[in-house]
Amino acid sequence: MLRLAPRAGAAQRFESLAEELLAEPSRTPEILALAAVRVFGPRAKDWADRTRSVYPSATREAVARLAVQRFTRAAGLRGAVGALAGPYSPVALGAGILVTHAEMVLHLAAAFEVDPEDPRRAEDLLRLASPGQGAIVAWLVLKAADRALPGVSLISTMLGARSATETLAVRATRLYREKRPKITG
């Protein structure tokens, strides 16, 4: 089972994360997934609590739909910004997709009342939110197409990021709809 390190200040967390990544580079995905749970898990829980207080009759499904809408829009925006990052586009796109997907998965967990701060969510992130090589390959193809049709990479990247996020939302919703334990604490 994955373990979370104790909470610390932002600078100390970054130094600790960097040290951990350098000490065990083969565990990079696991370390980053745990860091995402540590950072985004409390935000997701707070968001779900606030949403339920504003909409007390909202079902889990309704709260989940709000999360999907929020992060689908964010994915489109981050995809567009990533496409404009010039030579750093593959890195920006990959990072943007990972962050958006991690946040959405944890928000969906919270929407279905599955504890988004539980270290087991890192395992869910590793299973659900892995972008693979798709973002980089797609960017290379789009850059080639951009020479013939300027602007196609911007629009395609934005739409592709939204589509990938919606696909992940379906898988994550299915997973958390089945889990359904109550948030503890």
Determine the pLDDT at residue 185. Answer: 47
Determine the pLDDT at residue 135. Answer: 56
pLDDT surpassing 60 at residue 182: no
Backbone φ and ψ for 2, nearest 5 degrees, come out as: -75, 145
pTM, two decimal places: 0.79
